[in-house]
Chain A
Amino acid sequence: MNNSYDVIIIGAGPAGTLAAAKLIKEGKTVLILEKIQFPRFVIGESLLPQCMNYLDDLDLLPCIEKHNFQIKTGVCFYHEDEVCDFLFEKQYSDGWHYTWQVQRAKFDYALATEVEKRGAVLHYMAEVTDLKTSATQQTVTYSHPELGMQTAICKFVLDASGYGRVLPRMFDLEEPVSTPPRGAIFVHLEDKNRSEKAGENIFVHSFNENTAWIWSIPFSDGTTSVGIVGNSDFIKECESNEGALFHKLIGEFPGLDGRYKNVPRLFEPKVILNYAVAVKQLYGEGYALCGNSTEFLDPIFSSGVTFAVCSGYKSAELVVKQLNGEKVDWEMDYSVPIKKGIDVFRSYVNAWYAGDLATIFFATERKTQFMEQICSVLAGYVWDETNPFVKKHKTLLKTLAKVIRIEESRIV
């Protein structure tokens, strides 16, 4: 049967294409089934330096460099009049000093085109309708507007479908999340008022006592992605009346100095509500999940694409081992480390909304050593256990915030 592959990947986003690149490099045959036609818009535009390690390892940097995306050398947090600037140059881990802020339509398409060039078979508009798994052979059924209903077989299936959540839905793997429901509203703007003095790195303004925040992600073509994150009810309010509150907020927000007031929009604001998702398990017989189809916490630290890239790479690495006849412990070698990384970010997300990070970021006296260690977490190096802010993520932020509050009350 000629519709047979070593691995079938569902979804052609960064998780899927990184996995494909790794599998091809190891001599495996790959079919990628993508539900829609690329290039397509998707949110999640800010990358972390950590993902560069994987892109570099698979020699995928050149195909990205050619698009001259905005280079990101750090991240800047604002709270009222205060600023906290992190530069990846000044971080604890031996990591990359930069990454990119990308229009995902172009970025994802560049990666997909590159893996196709390297030999992956990629079908756009191919929607997976059924999967039958077994220990040795998986049968995938998908529909395609031109090919009709198709069946393909493979030895392993990787679900990189992100919000498509193909296998979590099909196999009932979805799990409720414990965080309060939050949403995001966002737009791309012509950033006409960008001053030469303004930095080009992503910046974040928190407001409403840390329950909401505005992001700005400048792109290299003079446009900027601007969005607001907050409780779902608040985001619905922002969206109502043709986004009146949203436009008012980004136009008149004190820290933004009218930069986004009355500038042309590239499209009308889009909304995602209750974005956080989780699953019961990351793998099963003949399949594994990677990217956002596993768990997505929150956009605050731009960890989405980085986790996609990292879990895409790691799952592919294990698939190769398994196909080569080696024993793979998916629990210990995949699930545990991936969840560990997610847990580190979970602590930071919680600390963000609890206000502990604001206390640390905007402290009167900031200790360089701590800031460099936190910077490495913000750069995505969440597996570097020599970093105390990784190893003791559950307690250290709380403790540090507490100490700072005590000290600052003394100063006052």
Chain B
Amino acid sequence: MDESKDIYDFVIIGSGISGLVSALILAKNGYKVLVLEKNHQIGGALQIFSRDKCIFDTGVHYIGGLSKGENLHQFFKYLGIYDDLKLKAMNQDCFDLIRLSNGMEIPHGQGYEQFVSGFVKAFPEDEIAIKQFCEKIQEVCSYFPLYNLECEGERTYFSHHDVLAIGAWDFVSSITDNNDLKIVLLGSGILYAGDAKSTPFYVVALIMNSFIKGSYRLVDGGSQLAKVLVKRIREHGGEVLKHKEVIGSEVNDQKEILKLICADNSSYRGRQFISSLHPSQTIKTIGESHFLPAYVKRVKGLKNSVSTFMVYLSFKRQSFPYFNHNFYEYFTEDGWNTVDYERKNWPQVLYVCTSATGKSDEFAESLSAMAYMSKDEWSEWEKTFNTIADKQERGEAYEQFKKQKEQLVIEKLKLRFPGIENCIKNVYSSTPLTFKDYLGTPEGEMYGILKDFRNPTGTSINTKTRIQNLYLTGQNIVFHGILGATVGAFVTCFNFVDNNTTIQEIKNHE
């Protein structure tokens, strides 16, 4: 076995945003860190790919909370990465455009005033409800101290558990009877798999608040975020290695991990270990026998969120406009019951965005469209595997299946973007299997473990595992997305670095 002589303070599995941010926080605090990534490309959901000279994002399409003084802005300032990012502010009066099946179009504007005024024109009688919605978002956010760059607060969600038990759909139903208004208020639901039966209001609040307070695109792709994080990690003496798929571990009698073993037969020793993988994937990777059966059972019992089918279009030169906002296209009146969809009018909801490039503000090079896709659609190919690092074929039937789904998405796009078919150069797509293979999520899920307001504690994950020197981070700790994963990384690292001084430092960073 090819064993590294070094003993690292921290060995981190996975180079997604949470893994890299964790590594950087720890490296900044003087620890010797190593990040192991199985793929050819670092970044997890920040990975990009290119076709027809266009860059396509696989996971990140816009980021909130980046305006000066906002949480993510301060986190990024503290990490020393903010100034390196190529950002493009999205339209103030409309960063998300919600379009309903009855032809109604409502913008989500930045800043609460702008947000409310975008609605009031279409729903003049519901101004009070719209304002109540905004107030509730801000109230619920105040229960999350770290989100507000505080160590503690008077009222926090640990002391006031009730705040986690509010259903998003139930809440909007309590303030209005207007179904259109409900859908539009929660119009960006496909960002977090919004579902009437399960989605907690706090998930909506934390995510929407961050976007309302400043929405940005990463120009020329999300991978720049991963690249600059790696650069800083290396500057602080840390290491990031690719093509290192962790497949096992060596654990001593005291139930401490001594080292991680990779598929290429290399192994890495460490004092502490952090896994940014899905908890069940972590158990599989480290070795199930090292965990308490009750822990294994609980983790395996967690329900995963849905995954998505992505269609990527490249356009003929200067044929399709760039939109400095996203589209949420609804093709059904029952917009918050679309996660468990029927096939008859799939896709019932689409997230659509044109990507920002440094080349042109007027025209888009490409477009991405995202729709839910449940497991029964792709379970036939569940056992296949295909990534750049490990290239295999899934077969002709799978390719034809993808083409079918592409066609269905394009048919819907044609309804909302008339003439789009004449602009398309090529069509590409990815299924949940792509996410499953690249991100190592058990079901290719996009939004981590399913959060359920009916069972808030049962669907949350602790950073500590039953193995003494193994910790978890990632999208499942707090919530998914750039902000969620970043906050999650801080939560994990506060096991090792003092949270008071760190938060003060974050807060006071200029």
Contact = CB atoms under 8 A, between A and B. Distances in A.
Interface of A: 49, 52-53, 56, 61-62, 65-69, 71, 73, 87, 89, 95-98, 196-197, 220
A97 B345 contact: yes
A89 B344 contact: no
Contact of A65 (B404, B411, B421): B404
Contacts of A49: 344
Contacts of A62: 377, 380, 401
29 contacts: A49-B344, A52-B343, A53-B344, A62-B377, A62-B380, A65-B404, A66-B401, A67-B400, A68-B403, A68-B404, A68-B407, A69-B404, A71-B404, A71-B407, A71-B408, A71-B411, A87-B415, A89-B331, A89-B345, A95-B344, A96-B343, A96-B345, A97-B344, A97-B345, A98-B408, A98-B411, A196-B422, A197-B422, A220-B403
A-B interface, 8 closest residue pairs, ranked by CB to CB distance from nearest = A68-B400, A66-B397, A96-B344, A97-B345, A68-B403, A71-B407, A65-B404, A73-B411
A345 B411 CA distance: 27
B343 A61 contact: yes
B266 to A, nearest CB: 40
Contact of B401 (A52, A65, A89, A97): A65
Interface size class, chain B: 10 to 19
B344 to A, nearest CB: 4
Contacts of B401: 62, 65-66, 68
A89 B415 contact: yes
B297 to A, nearest CB: 31
A97 B401 CA distance: 18
Contacts of A197: 421-422
A286 B400 CA distance: 42
A71 B403 CA distance: 10
A196 B423 CA distance: 10
Interface string B330-341: 010000000000
Contacts of B415: 87, 89
B213 to A, nearest CB: 37
A56 B344 contact: yes
A196 B421 contact: yes
Secondary structure type dominating chain B contacts: helix
Nearest to A197: B422
A30 to B, nearest CB: 24
A198 to B, nearest CB: 10
A61 B380 CA distance: 13
A402 to B, nearest CB: 32
A56 B376 CA distance: 12
Contacts of B422: 196-197
B403 to A, nearest CB: 4
A97 B343 CA distance: 9
A68 to B, nearest CB: 4
A68 B429 CA distance: 14
Contacts of B405: 65
A67 B401 CA distance: 7
B343 A56 contact: yes
A97 B348 CA distance: 10
Nearest to A72: B411
Nearest to B396: A66
Contacts of B400: 65-68
Contacts of A89: 331, 345, 415
Nearest to B397: A66
Contacts of A69: 404
Nearest to B380: A62
Most A Cβ at <10 Å: residue of B344, B403, B408, B415: B344
A97 B101 CA distance: 13
A195 to B, nearest CB: 10
A96 to B, nearest CB: 4
Given A67-B400, A196-B422, 11 more contacts: A49-B344, A52-B343, A65-B401, A65-B404, A66-B401, A69-B404, A71-B404, A71-B411, A89-B345, A97-B331, A97-B345
Contacts of B404: 65, 68-69, 71
B349 to A, nearest CB: 14
A13 to B, nearest CB: 22
Contacts of A68: 400-401, 403-404, 407
A49 B411 CA distance: 15
Interface string B202-239: 00000000000000000000000000000000000000
A97 B344 CA distance: 6
Contacts of B407: 68, 71, 220
Contacts of B403: 68, 220
Interface string B413-444: 00100000110000000000000000000000
Contacts of B343: 52, 56, 61, 96
B197 to A, nearest CB: 21
Nearest to B395: A66
A12 B351 CA distance: 42
Contacts of A97: 331, 344-345
A218 to B, nearest CB: 12
